Every structure is written in C-alpha cells, then in structure tokens.
Chain A
Amino acid sequence: MEKIPWKIEPIIRLNDVTIGYNVKEPLVEIPNLEIFPGEIVAIAGPSGVGKSTLLKTIVGLIRPISGSIEVCGKFFRDRPDRGELGYVPQGLGLVRHASVLHNVMLGADAGHNTPIPFIGVFRPSLLLSWLLKKKTAKKKAIQAINSMGLEEKISEPIRRLSGGQQRRVATARTLAQCPKLIIADEFLSELDEKTIDMVLGEVTKYVRSSNAALLVVEHDITRAKMMADRLLVIDDGRINPFITEPTALEVKI
C-alpha cells in the first residue's frame, strides 16, 4: 500500500501515561505526546523531575505505571525491531575495556547485521550474506567514527578517553546504527562549544536526511530552544509544550 504523504504515523505515541518507579509516587503525567519522523524534540526541566525516567520508560527499560506507549509501531513489552531505536544513556553504557571500534561496531551490528544462525555454518550463501552485512556494518562504523572526529582514537580503549570523547563515541555508536529514533540523555554535556556544533550538526543532519526522530534531554534551555523543533518542559509533574517558532518541521510536512 502506498503511503499517503500527509498522513504520517508518529514514531512515538504516548497516551495518558504516568511514569515513575513507585506506583504511589508517580513522577510525570503525560496526557498526550506524539513525535513524528524528522522531528527534534527536547525535554527540559529541573533535575530530579523525571526526565531520564521518561526516556527510560520510552526505551522500555522501566514499565510505565499506566497508559499506553507506542514506539516504532510496537506497544510496550514488545520491543522495537532490532536496531530501530538508538539510545544514548546518561552514563553512556560503553564497554570500557574494549576499543572505540568495538563499541561503535555494537551499534552498527544492531542496525545492519543480524547474528548468523547456527545452521549458517553449513550454508555458504547465508555465510556470504552475513559477511557482506558485516562489511557494510564496519564501513558504517568507521564512517560514524570519522564524523565524530575520532579517527585517531579508533583502536584506543574507552577508559583512556576523556569524558567528552566518550560521549562522542556513544553518539557515534548510535549514528552507526542508523536508527529510526534516537533517544539521547544529555549527549552534549562535557563537550566544548566547537565540538557541540560538530556533534549537533552531524546528528541533526542525520535526523533530517533519513527522516528519523530525535528525543533529547537538555539541561541548557537556550541550547534546547536552539536545536529543537519543539521544547517540552516538565514542571510540577506535568509535561507542558513550550511553544517555539515554527521551524523546518512545518516546511517538511
């Protein structure tokens, strides 16, 4: 069936969702939230208000207290398909004893490659296609590392990198994955101004060109306004849309 261009399905759809770790103490209530392809949405708010918890709930690591969450066409409990969702957690979640390439390859493998089934050992065609996919994945990984300016660190273990470099590795891992949806928790902290421009530029370019969505938690409200199409402010346990000027989103639709 041909897709009708003016009826775009949202990538994230939240309906009457309440989140929190404890049923008795709900952190945030979200009556309605839809995020469309090609859109950059930032979430701001004071610390401890539940921004990271909201992201973890959308990723599917925490179960919501109530409500329905649909991510990439899958409702909660069913995970999005392999590689569709890219997640940059606040603690980055890199394998500290492995090289930069190994870490970025994790994302690239998730996005472009499926593990070879055991029977593949006896079927050359399967083995060949797996090898080809592996090659694509490696190309994507190296591309992503280069775009983050980490060419020289490619075989360096993560624990020898600075905090900002580690953050770029985590971003590269997600970019190499080519996900439909990027969920990033403060992926710009610990970076200097020049690097922020580079990282933000690359991520924005990816989001716009491949029609993915980006949901990001950002502490700095001016930067959040600058980079996002929509800014959501969590305050008083409610999520409030902060109206910004119409941007590329309207132009695109």
Chain B
Amino acid sequence: MNFFHKISRPSWLGICILIFLFSIIVFNGMINDWGRASQGLGNLITFFNESLWPPDWSVLEPQAYPVCTVYPNFMDFTCSTAWIGMVETIKIAFVSTVFGTILSIPLSLLAARNLNQSWVSYSSRFILAGFRSLPSLIWAIFFVILVGFGPLAGVLAMTVYTVGYLGKLQYEAIEGMAKIPLDASEAMGLTKFETALKVVIPESANDLISQAIFMFEYNFRHGTVIGIVGAGGIGYYINLYLKFLQYDKVIAYLIIIFVVVLIIDFISIKARSYFTEEIDLPRSTWKSIFLPSFLN
C-alpha cells in the first residue's frame, strides 16, 4: 500500500497549511524590522515622483556617442543609444541561439537514454548540466574577463548557456519520442548515426524547432541583462545611467525593453504554434494571443 493513498483530502489540505505556516515562520526569522516593509510604499511614491517619472525619452535621440550618421532625417532615432543597444541585444540573442542550437543537438542526441548506453548519456548530461549550472550573467562575467568587453563576450556567454539549457529540453523531447521507430530501425540494421539523422531528428523536429524559438525569446530577455557586466547590448547603457543616478532615462529603457519583449514573446508564441504536434489542433490566431480568452 502506497503511503500517499492513506492520506485523505483533509489531511492534504492540512499539509499545505503547515507548509505555508512554516514558510511564514522562516520568513519572520529572516526579518528583524517589519517597519521597513510599511515604509516601502511611501518610498516608492517619492522615488516615482522625484526620479522615475516622467521617463526621459531623450534616449531615443541621436547622441554624440556612439558615432553614427543616417541620411533621412526622420530616421535619426536609429542612431539613439536605445535603438543601437536593442539591435545589438537582438543580434546577440539570434547568433547565440543559432550557435547554441547547432552545438546542443549532437550533445542532446548523446544524452538521450533511449539512444545510448547509460555511461554515454550520463557523461553528456554531466557536460550539459555544467553549462547550465551558471546563469548567463555569470558566464558573461567570465567571458568578459577572457575576451574583454563587447558583444563577443555576450555571444560566447549566451551560447554556452543555450547549449546547456536547450540541450536539456532537447534530450527530454527525444526521450519522449515513441520507441517503435527506433525498434524498427534497429531491426533493419541502420547505424546509430543514420538512426539519429533520419529517424530521431525528423520525428522530434517540431519540438526541437519550437524549443529553439523559445530559446531565442529567452536569450533576448537575458541579453538585456548581460550588458550590465559589459558583454554588449542595451544593458550597457542601463548600467551607465544607473551609475549616474539618471533614473528617468533608466525607466525609459525599461519601458522600451518591456515593449520589445512583449512583441518578441507574441511572435514566438505565434511561430511556435506552427510546430504543434497535432495538425488537428487549431492554430493560435493573433487575436487569441493578444486578448484574454474570455474576450475572444
């Protein structure tokens, strides 16, 4: 008899309440002055009125640095730091997603337990877990030390993290695929390499593509941060103005990032809906992405 079968519903509720109470006790143990929490709202209002609002949209105007010229006058926002930083972030995210995907596919094929002996898969998993163990920000610090400031460090850091994270998603997708095609190809006598190339990759291609698109979205969101340590992208400018205490410019950057993240998220959801497993499922429409379901 399983232990969990003996617990009836009321005692499950009791366990949940106990866990919650326990977390409150732990939380209380960490806080020595509850008065600070009540000051927070007042501080926010002061800070918001004095420093944050209104946002300083001068970040969308061309600056003396970086040097840049553009012929039609109405396009001069493309010379602003916000635009240049954002484009660089997107470039870093795109390049590192492509490189990371290329590198992670062989590793995830090796890591899948249904294709390999356990020592092969576990050693490959060990490598993937190693890449994944540090967040991309820490990888960025590491690569900034190695190759210096700029987008090169950003691309390297994001690529390494992408390999670790995407590799895990991919080997889970590969392990989720049906066993019978593998049986059939084993019976036919196809080599492991042929099986991987002609059976496993086409069969799990939908998952692999949709995960790569998700990874691009994820990399873009993280790419805004890695600039803080000097690895290129819009984070560099945010860090710059944070140091000068120009919070109104920082909030302008944050609003721009928020809007672009939303747009890229929507595009990603839309693009991934083309790679759902069953063709019978209705594809998500633009309306269903933008509006909550009860408004459809």
Please tell me which one of the listed residues A79, A89, A102, A170 contacts residue B198 in the complex, with CB atoms under 8 A apart.
Answer: A102
How far does the alpha carbon of A109 sit from the alpha carbon of B193 in the complex, in Å? 13
Please tell me which stretch of B45-53, B181-189, B218-226, B246-254 contacts chain A, meaning at least 4 of its Cβ atoms lie within 8 angstroms of it: B181-189
Most chain B beta-carbon neighbours within 10 Å: one of A81, A84, A87, A88: A87
Query: Bound state CA distance, A85 and B189, in angstroms?
Result: 8
Stretch at the interface among A91-99, A125-133, A212-220: A91-99
Q: Are A115 and B193 in contact (CB under 8 A)?
A: yes
When the two chains form their complex, are residues A94 and B187 in contact, meaning their CB atoms are under 8 A apart?
Answer: no
With A102-B202, A115-B194 as known contacts, state yes or no: A83 contacts B189, CB within 8 Å. Answer: yes
B203/A59 in contact, CB under 8 A:
no
Q: A95-B181, A97-B202, A98-B202 are in contact. Are A86 and B188 (CB under 8 A)?
A: yes
Chain A residues whose C-beta falls within 8 Å of the C-beta of B189 in the assembled complex: 79-85, 110
Question: Chain B, 16-43, contact with A by CB distance < 8 Å: what is the 0/1 string?
Answer: 0000000000000000000000000000
Residue A61, interface by CB 8 Å: yes
Contact A87 B202 (CB under 8 A): no
Q: Is there contact, CB below 8 Å, between B188 and A83?
A: yes
> Residue-by-residue, is B157-195 near A (CB-CB < 8 Å gives 1, otherwise 0)?
000000000000000000000101111111111110110
Q: Are A93 and B183 within 8 A (Cβ)?
A: yes
How many chain A residues sit at the interface, stated as a range, is: 35 or more
Look across to chain B and name the residue whose beta carbon is closest to the beta carbon of A114: B191
Is A77 an interface position by the 8 A CB rule?
Answer: no
Closest to B183 in A: A61
A89 interface neighbour in B184, B191, B199, B203, Cβ under 8 Å:
B184
Tell me the complex Cα distance, A81–B206, Å.
Answer: 33
**Contacting A91 at CB < 8 Å: which of B180, B187, B205?**
B180
Q: Which residues of A contact B186 (CB under 8 A)?
A: 60-61, 79
Alpha-carbon distance A222/B180, docked complex (angstroms): 29
CB distance A107 to B180 under 8 Å?
A: no
B279 within 8 A of A: yes
Please, which residues of chain A bring their CB within 8 A of the CB of B183? 56, 59, 61, 87, 89, 93
**Shortest distance in angstroms between B188's beta carbon and chain A's nearest beta carbon?**
4
Given that A89-B180, A96-B203, A97-B205 are contacting pairs, would A110 and B198 also be in contact in the complex, using a CB cutoff of 8 Å? no
Considering only CB atoms, which chain A residue lies closest to B193 in the complex?
A115
Instruction: Check A95–B194 contact: CB distance below 8 A.
Output: no
Q: A80-B189, A115-B191 are in contact. Are A87 and B184 (CB under 8 A)?
A: yes
B190 close to A92 (CB less than 8 A): no
- The CA of A95 and the CA of B184, in the complex, are separated in Å by 10
Chain B residues whose CB sits within 8 angstroms of the CB of A94 once the complex forms: 181, 184
Q: Are A91 and B194 in contact (CB under 8 A)?
A: no
A110 to B191, alpha carbons, bound, how many Å? 9
A199 within 8 A of B: no
Q: Least Cβ distance of B189 to chain A in Å?
A: 4
CB atoms of B190 and A109 under 8 A apart: yes
In the complex, whether A42 has a CB less than 8 A from a CB of chain B is no
Encode A136-151 as 1/0 by CB contact (under 8 A) with B: 0000000000000000
Chain B residues whose C-beta falls within 8 Å of the C-beta of A56 in the assembled complex? 183
Q: How far is the CB of B205 from the nearest CB of chain A, in Å?
A: 6
A95-B198 in contact (CB<8A): yes
Report yes or no: A92 in contact with B203, Cβ–Cβ below 8 A.
Answer: no
Tell me the complex Cα distance, A112–B290, Å: 53
- Decide if A93 touches B191 in the complex (CB within 8 Å): no
Q: Assess whether A17 is interfacial by the CB under 8 Å rule.
A: no
- For residue A81, give the distance in angstroms from its CB to the closest CB of chain B: 7
Q: Which of A165-188 contact B (CB under 8 A)?
A: 170, 177, 183
A159 at the interface (CB under 8 A from B): yes
Is A100 positioned at the interface, with any CB of B under 8 Å from its CB?
no
Once bound together, how far apart are the Cα atoms of A107 and B189, in whole Å?
9
Bound Cα distance A170, B194 (Å): 18
Partner of A85, one of B181, B188, B194, B206: B188
Would you give the shortest CB distance from B132 to chain A, in whole angstroms? 28
Q: Is A106 an interface residue (CB 8 A)?
A: yes
- Taking CB atoms, residues of chain A closer than 8 Å to B187 are 59-61, 85-87, 183
Given contacts A109-B194, A115-B193, A115-B194, contact A95 B199 (CB under 8 A): yes
Can you name 8 extra interface pairs (CB under 8 A) apart from A60-B187, A85-B189, A93-B183?
Answer: A59-B183, A83-B188, A86-B188, A107-B188, A109-B190, A111-B188, A115-B194, A170-B184
- What are 25 A-B contacts defined by CB distance under 8 Å? A59-B183, A59-B187, A60-B187, A80-B189, A82-B189, A85-B189, A87-B187, A89-B183, A92-B180, A93-B180, A93-B182, A93-B184, A95-B198, A95-B199, A95-B202, A97-B202, A97-B203, A98-B198, A102-B198, A102-B202, A106-B188, A106-B190, A110-B189, A177-B188, A183-B187
Interface residues of B (CB under 8 A from A): 178, 180-191, 193-194, 198-199, 202-203, 205-206, 279
Please give me the 4 A-B residue pairs with the lowest Cβ-Cβ distance, nearest first.
A93-B184, A82-B189, A87-B187, A93-B180
